[in-house]
Amino acid sequence: MKKLSFAKSDELFELAERVIPGGSNKYVRKRTVMGGIEIQRPKFIDHAKGSRIWDVDGNEFIDYGGMGPTILGHGDSKVTEAVREQLKKGVVHFGLNYELDIKLSEKMVKSIPCAEQVHMLNTGSEATTAALRIARAYTEKAKVIKFDGHYHGIHDWTILNLFGGNISPRLISHGLTKGAVEDTIILQWQDLDSVERVLSNQGNEIAAIITEPYQFNGPCIIPEKGYLEGLRKITKKNDVLLIFDEIISGFRVALGGVQELEGVIPDIATYGKAMANGYPISAVASNKKIMETVTYGRVFLKGTYHSNPISTSAAYATITELERKESYKHLNQIGDSIIKGLKDAIDDLDIDAIVQGVGPCFTIIFTEQEKIMRTSDLRATIGVKTTAMAYPHDRRSAVFAKEMINQGILFQPTWRNHLYLAHNKEEADITIEAAQKALKQTKKIK
Ligand SMILES: Cc1ncc(COP(=O)(O)O)c(C=O)c1O
């Protein structure tokens, strides 16, 4: 196996640390230590195309990483062309409406079951902020339920109880207001009894439940049949709004997201990431009655860069590509073939590991458990109580990650990996073969 060098990446990190807190505006760390094993990995990108990226040291990788926005592939020509056309018009930012906004909104209303209207913003955090504010204004109630381990952005109301929190299991960040923390009730996911109990006691104080409908922040948990329907029923019964945070799942698992696949329609949904193949745009979607809170100005949501024409044209081109019949078929076929390859290798080698997720987004988890149902199972499986911000995975995860990187594949255990339309069958086979070798190495770990 070729030994990769990351000398230039390390050099740049030293420079970055001088002017950027922690040396990164992303989750890139100076040293990645998992289970006591240091993992050398690329820290600075140079260029990318399709499913491949090249770092500043000239190493080439098949990429499944990123944070979720890439769905067509890096530097997709149709999206680049749409952006270029927009730049040629000179319409980059104006304080006026822009016709493509209507067309993009029409596309979203057509494909998203809960959407009669959509409001565009820039980031996922803004979209979930908007969803919670709308829910509070509409119901005239203050509290919100979120689930342990679910991530909904950097704002104060939900940045609690995440996996990988660096202060305590509950508190992820200092600097939050007491009111925001007190107004957020944390429950375990996939436990309808606790939701029922809290709503029957406190339903008159609770504006909404916010949930990732598939928990992709973590070990790609697809809920048990009936769970989302159960949430829908209980929220309706108690006049509490149901918000699906589809920032990751939206446009990734299907054009209409999880709500299309599962047939459960929330009151409000949020979108971002895959909707523009990497350009910054997000949206909050709902029915007209709930959106009247925005129409008549009871909820303030306007922003300088909302519905920015560059991102809008990228989103329009991305969704147009995804509308092609073959798109989700391809994502599922290639993704499913990798999932099957991983499962077969796990069985053949008799390893305690499982694969969770769906074709467009999935992961491998080293565990003795048959499945991971919620974040507390994950904490238990890798022995983490109060999690340190360093990746706290076990040694098998560390060896697997390291071996995959050494074979030129950015594919992480425990956390989600993403399929792009640009991934092909040959790359899926290369990935499976690399995973077989990496899994063999994990067997040597005591
Ligand atoms: C489910 C979910 N909601 C919201 C967000 C926040 O999005 P952003 O990072 O664009 O603010 C994220 C980001 O990872 C996410 O995964």
Q: Whose CA is nearest to atom 3 of ligand 1?
A: 152
Write down the pLDDT at residue 164. Answer: 62
The active-site residue out of 76, 245, 377, 394 is: 245
Cα gap 225→318, rounded to integer Å: 31
More confident residue, 387 or 23: 23
pLDDT at 34: 79
pLDDT (mean) for 27-35: 84
Closest of 309, 248, 255 to residue 274, by C-alpha: 248
Q: Residue 316 and residue 281: Cα distance in Å, rounded?
A: 11
Selecting among 63, 273, 394, 402, the annotated active-site residue is 273
Domains by residue range for the chain, with CATH: 7-63+325-442 (3.90.1150.10), 77-322 (3.40.640.10)
pLDDT tier, 35 (very low <50, low <70, confident <90, very high otherwise): confident
> What confidence tens digit (pLDDT) does each residue in 227-270 have?
999 999 999 999 999 999 999 999 999 999 999 999 999 999 99
Give the ligand 1 atom nearest the CA of 67: 14
pLDDT at 169: 61
| Ligand 1 site-directed mutation target among 246, 247, 305, 418, most atoms within 8 Å of CB | 247
Q: Which tens digits make up the pLDDT trace of 154-204?
A: 998 888 888 766 666 677 788 888 888 899 999 999 999 999 999 999 999
Q: Using the predicted structure, report yes or no on whether residue 388 has a pLDDT greater than 60.
A: no
| Residue 383: predicted pLDDT | 61
Please name the residue whose Cα sits nearest to atom 10 of ligand 1: 124
Atom of ligand 1 nearest to the CA of 273: 10
Sequence letter at residue 202: Q
Report the chain's mean pLDDT, rounded to a whole number. 93
- pLDDT per position as a tens digit, 368-382: 899 999 988 887 776
Residues 6+ apart with CB under 8 A from 233: none
- Catalytic status, residue 305: no
Q: What is the pLDDT of residue 394?
A: 78
How many Å separate Cα 336 from the centre of its chain?
Answer: 19
Q: Which residues line ligand 1 (CB under 6 A)?
A: 67, 123-125, 128, 151-153, 212, 217, 245, 247-248, 272
Question: What local confidence, expressed as pLDDT, does residue 389 receive?
Answer: 35
How many Cβ atoms from other residues are within 10 Å of residue 94's Cβ? 10
Q: What's the number of CA atoms in the CB half-sphere (13 Å) around residue 209?
A: 30
Residue 440 among the catalytic residues: no
Band of pLDDT at residue 390, cut at 50, 70 and 90: very low
- What's the pLDDT at 31? 87
Nearby residues of 278 by Cβ (< 8 Å), 6 or more positions away? 66, 69, 70, 74, 314
Which of 26, 150, 152 for a ligand 1 pocket mutation test, highest count of atoms within 8 Å of Cβ? 152
**Is the entire prediction scored with pTM above 0.85?**
yes
- The Cα 272–Cα 261 span in angstroms is 18
Using a CB cutoff of 8 Å and minimum separation of 24, what contacts does 92-101 make? 92/308, 92/309, 92/310, 93/304, 93/305, 93/308, 93/309, 94/309, 98/307, 98/309, 98/312, 100/309, 100/312, 100/313, 100/316, 101/307, 101/312
Look up 245 and say whether it is catalytic: yes
> What is the reported pLDDT for 165?
61
In this predicted structure, the answer to whether residue 1 has a pLDDT above a threshold of 70 is no
